[in-house]
Amino acid sequence: MPYRVCFVCTGNICRSPMAESVFRARVTEAGLDGLVEVDSAGTGGWHEGDGADPRTVSVLETHGYESSHAARQFRADWFSRLDLVIALDAGHLKALRRLALTPEDSEKVRLLRSYDPVAGHDLDVPDPYYGGLDGFEECLEMVEAASPGLLAAVREHVKGRAA
The continuous run of DSSP H or E covering 135 comes out as helix 133-162
The fold adopted by the segment(s) 3-162 is Rossmann fold (3.40.50)
Q: Which residues are catalytic?
A: 9, 15, 127
Rounded Cα–Cα distance for residues 55 and 125 (Å): 16
pTM, rounded to two decimals: 0.97
Rounded to an integer, the average pLDDT of 67-87 is 97
Q: What is the mean pLDDT of the chain?
A: 96
Sketch the domain layout of the chain as residue ranges: 3-162
pLDDT at 159 over 90: no
Report pLDDT for 162: 66
pLDDT at 161 over 80: no
